[in-house]
Structure 1
């Protein structure tokens, strides 16, 4: 049955405020939860953080006091939602265990979006990025066994394979080559807009997480790996945010943010296996329906347009966390040796790429390669979790 959030009314805003007791949610059990429950939590935390920060940026550019006050009212509820969602994560999990879960999100969320994306240029952007997240998962899994003497299988539960993707040292590119062409807001498929906003928000939260948690480690190799992959996540945010048409008005973007939250809470409510967490998704969906109507009212008043002019007439099929092993193996076989040049993709290691590689690595092994070397020296070989077969890891061919 189709679901149009523009036709649904949620909980009135003046009834959405929660007290401490209501916000004090019980965290999931990391040893017995569905790994994809944890992935949905991490995803929605990123979505809520993006909604909050976008609202702050809009308020900083808005001279109208009444609008700033309305944004503040909704934003405070969004902040409560973010706390409830993120506090579902268990405090007993280490930063590195949470990191591996973050990369499982990046792999299976981006792979699913790439599979479903109707626009070939946008699809290529997701395919390119997911092969790098896939290798990040592999590097962190090796670090996890070095530092905590545990295997990533405990976290990903075999739903996501752990093996090499595009080698992490090759992810460092000239900044100008991380900028893509945006979609056209006048012709874009509404699903593509939701995909772009979702992946941008998730990667942004990963970037923020790494830049803040990386220096909390004492082990030099861990500090170095978080620094390296944190810089790559900055590249990924540049990569994905550039897909969004900058010509969308503030009001249009506000509506898209709220609509996307409705889409994701609705999606996750449909598939959630934990009743306690499902109840939170349902509650937040009913809150977001009202936030969407408030955004639509602001757009009508200040932009002179109806939200229905820029939003899909109904929510698309639910966004689903599920294994993407076959799809990822196909990408590994066909796209592992790609890099970027301008707004496109090439298989040759061009001059700008090689200059960046020399500048960032300085002829020394990257931290991500040092992790593998340390794992080999301490434990023997590298850590992998594969359900079948081995895969060669090709290198970029030199343009010289």
Structure 2
């Protein structure tokens, strides 16, 4: 599943920079790079098969969110940042379960053909418990002067993936015909907004525009390098290699701008060498451990708690208003249609003991 590492709140970083920087010549340079970025995005997104339904693509999005965020959490050196990824992945995992039940109910097919048994499908932290007061979605940012370069790459990668997921749900949700599908996309789309806030707040706001551009271009190099190194399809691998070569030039240009306007050497910001490649791999054992130990967590301020607090309970009452949320009703509906809720538990019983309801 493709995503654009330059996305921030729906507007790519270089677009935001162009709207704030002085000088026509500089705007022209950014415009040339932006045109190439648009070509890359289309090349990658058009790799998706046209025969896939919206729901099949949705399930792929959530599987990417689960396995990518789980991998980042396992590799993250900073304990606070690691906790942020561990918290978020349990919610994406539950979204996968809800959409898989909607998929079976509407299209009468099973999600295991999409997830290919690499990811389990079962309840995570229940989706209706993801609705929080906005104040409790903001995390403490990393310190750009002390954080590991790898941590910056992780934060940009997950923020971008969640941003693109939110945009996708906002676009495709209104195209659904079934009321329960429209409502489920709306509910989870709201939570994806929370996730974007959650992850974007990890980035140090003290980074200059030029430092942010440098980090983003370096991150694109890192991701395309990772895809090239781990890709099994020769034709697709050649695309990653081509795009990596493009991004190396974009990184060079960003480094020149950074030296010119920030007056620093890029080596003061960037990692001395690319970290080990991002790897998409099964994370079943890791996810099961998180479910067993963190399923009952919520947020309070910039921290995490296990007890429901006043702001959380107030938000739950305001959102639900006494009604059963779509994320719960979709399970009820599929149970009525298919005779039971859909799960794919390849590694044994649910780690938190949540049995399928009848």
Scaled to the shorter chain, the TM-score interval is over 0.9
Give the alignment partner of residue 136 of structure 1, picking from 95, 98, 109: 95
TM-score (norm 1): 0.87
Count of residues in correspondence between the two structures: 353
**1:110-259 alignment, distance < 5 Å:** 110-259=69-218
**Is 1:166–1:393's contact at 8 Å kept on the other side of the alignment?**
no
- Alpha-carbon distance between aligned partners in 2 of 1:49 and 1:299, rounded to the nearest angstrom: 20
Shift of residue 46 of structure 1? 3.0
Q: What is the Cα deviation at residue 64 of structure 1?
A: 2.1
Instruction: Kindly state the Cα deviation for residue 218 of structure 1 after the two structures are TM-superposed.
Output: 0.6
Q: Does 1:313 align with 2:269?
A: no
Which residue in the other structure is 2:4 paired with? 46
- Aligned partners of 2:214 and 2:63: how far apart in 1? 29
Deviation larger for 60-69 or 270-279? 60-69
Pairing 1:1-400 to 2, within 5 Å after superposition: 39=1, 42=2, 45-47=3-5, 49=7, 53-391=12-350, 393=352
> Per the alignment, in what secondary structure is the counterpart of residue 251 of structure 2?
helix
- Contact 2:6 2:216 survives alignment (8 Å): no
Note if contact 1:52-1:79 (Cα within 8 Å) is conserved in structure 2: no
Alpha-carbon deviation of 1:388?
A: 2.2
How far apart are the structure 2 equivalents of 1:104 and 1:278? 21
- Report how far residue 68 of structure 1 moved: 1.1
Distance 2:261 2:149 in 1: 22
> Whole-Å Cα distance in 2 between the matches of residues 67 and 339 of structure 1?
45
Residue deviations 1:329-365 (CA, integer Å, cap 9, x gap)? 0000000000000000000010100000000000100
* Deviation, structure 1 residue 241: 0.1
Whether the 8 Å CA contact 1:336–1:394 is kept in 2: the answer is no
Contact 2:102 2:330 in 1 (8 A): yes
Q: Tell me the CA shift for residue 394 of structure 1.
A: 7.7
Instruction: Identify the range of structure 1 (375-384 vs 106-115) with the bigger mean alpha-carbon deviation.
Output: 375-384
Structure 1, 185-194 or 380-389: larger mean CA deviation: 380-389
Query: Which SS does the other structure have where 2:4 is aligned?
Result: helix
Q: Distance in 1 between matches of 2:196 and 2:309?
A: 23
| CA root-mean-square deviation | 1.3
Matched residues in 1 for 2:159 and 2:11: separation? 14
Give the SS at the match of 1:78: helix
Q: Does the CA contact (< 8 Å) of 1:181 and 1:243 recur in 2?
A: yes
* 3-state secondary structure, aligned to 1:187: coil
* Contact 2:6–2:14 under 8 Å retained in 1: no
Deviation at 1:48, TM superposition (A): 5.2
Q: Distance in 1 between matches of 2:92 and 2:68?
A: 11
Q: CA deviation at 1:49?
A: 4.5
